């Protein structure tokens, strides 16, 4: 009796092998269902991912020159939002009209951010919840956090295709009918966890201080007002619920801004606090506390860039 044709292998390029890209690339390579290539600055032959389910060590094909890249079925953009333009050469080479580009970045404007670089390819916004930490150029650590899934995608053709892509990786994907509201909820988490840990140089245990907790609630009230004006279905008690969720995370967890400051790298400030302030200005909502945080974060980021 003829055997059914095996599922064709999908070609996947991961741009950025940091805390997020390293975890996703390693898990995809370990699952063995796809042909995975990493687009990186420095060559590497293997990648180690420390996971709660057990450490994996996988061989990994890596490219360091965009001119050697060929179009693929999927591009997973895992750079920081501020590095999107720097990844433009990779995106242009890797994309064809049938390519899907999963944007694994913070913020609320995923598709608009990559539109100048991907031509007729389709952008798929993805929200990432797992905690990743880059330990070395070829080693990352991943922790699940207290959410229903490790990543979330819109419940449309692109999101469903992404969920299928991630099958077998131990990274759960949840599909959302109202992705915009959830993107704002994720931004609310980042609106306080990232700036506060970065500016205090303390991990998430600092959010347990009563004075810091009160400041975070005030910052979140501003951001929630902007989200509602942007047509997101944000409840009146969302700030309190956001803090409750953050306090449920392990106090020893860091944030991307925290790790970037420790490493002396520029911060992902414009996609987070900057996005809230910009949306507030556009929609006529005052955000003085967020603006104060933005000013301080820009000063820290500019110092790292010099």
Which are the catalytic amino acids? 186
Phi, psi for residue 4 in degrees, rounded to 5: -65, 145
Q: Which helix (H) or strand (E) holds 21?
A: helix 19-31
Phi, psi for residue 33 in degrees, rounded to 5: -95, -15
Among 38, 45, 34, 35, smallest CA distance to 18 is for 38
Cβ atoms of 205 and 252 closer than 8 Å: yes
Among 92, 32, 42, 103, smallest CA distance to 66 is for 92
Give the contacts of 41 (CB within 8 A, at least 6 positions apart).
64
CA distance 240 to 216: 9
Q: Which two tokens stand for residue 173?
A: 């994907």
Vertex 8 angle, CA 7 and 13, to 5°:
125
Among 249, 270, 239, 263, smallest CA distance to 203 is for 249
Count of residues for the chain? 306
Among 28, 26, 22, smallest CA distance to 10 is for 28
Q: Which two tokens stand for residue 154?
A: 């819109």
Cβ atoms of 255 and 197 closer than 8 Å: yes
- Please state the three-class secondary structure of 41-55 as a single string: CCCCCEEEEECCCCC
């Amino acid at each position: 009796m003829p055997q059914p044709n095996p599922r064709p292998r999908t070609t996947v390029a991961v741009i950025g092998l940091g805390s997020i890209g390293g975890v996703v690339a390693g898990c995809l390579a370990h699952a063995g269902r796809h042909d995975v290539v990493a687009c990186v600055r420095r060559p590497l032959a293997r990648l180690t991912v420390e996971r709660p389910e057990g450490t994996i060590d996988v061989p990994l094909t890596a490219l360091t020159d965009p001119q050697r890249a060929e179009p693929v079925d999927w591009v997973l953009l895992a750079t920081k939002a501020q590095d999107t333009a720097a990844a433009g050469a990779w995106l242009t080479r890797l994309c064809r009209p049938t390519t899907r580009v999963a944007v694994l970045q913070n913020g609320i404007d995923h598709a608009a951010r990559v539109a100048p670089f991907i031509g007729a390819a389709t952008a798929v916004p993805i929200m990432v919840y797992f905690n990743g930490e880059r330990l070395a150029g070829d080693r990352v650590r991943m922790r699940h956090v207290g959410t229903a899934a490790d990543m979330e995608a819109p419940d449309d053709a692109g999101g469903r295709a992404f969920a299928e892509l991630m099958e077998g990786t131990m990274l759960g994907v949840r599909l959302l009918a109202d992705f915009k509201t959830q993107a704002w909820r994720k931004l609310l988490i980042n609106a306080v966890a990232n700036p506060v840990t970065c500016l205090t140089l303390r991990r998430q245990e600092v959010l347990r201080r009563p004075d810091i907790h009160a400041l975070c609630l005030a910052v979140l009230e501003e951001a929630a007002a902007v989200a509602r004006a942007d047509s997101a279905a944000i409840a009146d008690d969302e700030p309190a619920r956001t803090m409750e969720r953050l306090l449920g995370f392990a106090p020893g967890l860091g944030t991307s801004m925290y790790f970037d400051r420790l490493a002396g790298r520029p911060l992902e400030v414009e996609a987070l606090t900057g996005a809230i302030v910009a949306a507030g200005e556009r929609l006529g909502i005052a955000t003085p506390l967020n603006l104060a945080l933005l000013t301080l974060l820009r000063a820290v980021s500019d110092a790292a860039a010099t």
